[in-house]
Amino acid sequence: MAKLHSKLIWLILIILLVFVAYLYWVPSQKVDGRRGGAAVAVSTAKVETKAMIRSISSLGTGIANNSITLTSPTSDFITELNIREGKLVKRDEVIARLHDVEERARVTELQGILVDQKRQLDRLKNLATTQATAQQMLDEQQTKVNTTLAQLDIATAQLAEMTITAPFDGYLGLRQVSQGAYINTGTAITTLDDLAVLRVAFSVAEHYLAEIKVGMPLAVTNAAYGDVRFAGTVSAIDTRLDPLTRTVTVHGTLPNDDLRLRPGMLLNVNLVLEQHVAKQISEKALVPQQQKQFVYKVSADNTVQQVEVTIGQRIPGWVEIIGGLEEGDEVVVEGIQKLRSGVTINRVGG
Alpha-carbon distance of 47 to 280, in angstroms, equals 6
pLDDT score recorded for residue 2: 54
pLDDT in tens, 198-216: 999 999 999 899 989 999 9
Phi, psi of 70 (to 5 degrees): -75, 120
Buried b (16+ CB within 10 A) or exposed e, 116-131: ebeeebeebeeebeee
Phi then psi for 122, rounded to 5 degrees? -65, -40
Phi and psi torsions of 252, nearest 5°: -125, 160
Does residue 320 carry a pLDDT above 90?
Answer: no
Instruction: Give this prediction's pTM.
Output: 0.61
Residue 5 scores a pLDDT above 70: no
Least confident of 20-34, 149-163, 247-261, 266-280: 20-34
Q: Which of 55-64, 94-103, 114-123, 124-133 has the lowest mean pLDDT?
A: 124-133
Alpha helices in the chain (DSSP H): 2-36, 101-128, 134-161
Most distant CA pair in the chain, distance: 160
The yes-or-no verdict on residue 317 having pLDDT over 50 is yes
pLDDT at 315: 80
pLDDT band at 350 (very low <50, low <70, confident <90, very high): low
Query: pLDDT for 220-260, tens place per residue?
Result: 999 999 989 999 999 999 999 999 999 999 999 999 989 99
The backbone torsions φ and ψ at residue 342, rounded to the nearest 5 degrees and listed phi first, read: 95, -10
pLDDT at 137: 78
Of the ranges 121-125, 195-199, 320-324, 344-348, the best mean pLDDT one: 195-199
Q: What is the pLDDT of residues 34-89, one digit of tens each?
A: 444 568 888 888 898 888 778 889 999 999 999 999 999 999 999 999 999 989 99
What are the angstrom distances between the C-alpha of 79 and each of 71, 89, 90, 184, 302? 15, 20, 21, 14, 89
Averaged over 21-44, what is the pLDDT? 60
pLDDT at 17 over 90: no
pLDDT at position 127 is: 73
pLDDT of res. 7: 66
Q: For all residues of the chain together, what is the average pLDDT?
A: 86
pLDDT band for 128, please (50, 70, 90 cuts): low
Look at residue 41 in the predicted model and tell me its pLDDT: 87
Strands 247-255 and 230-242: antiparallel
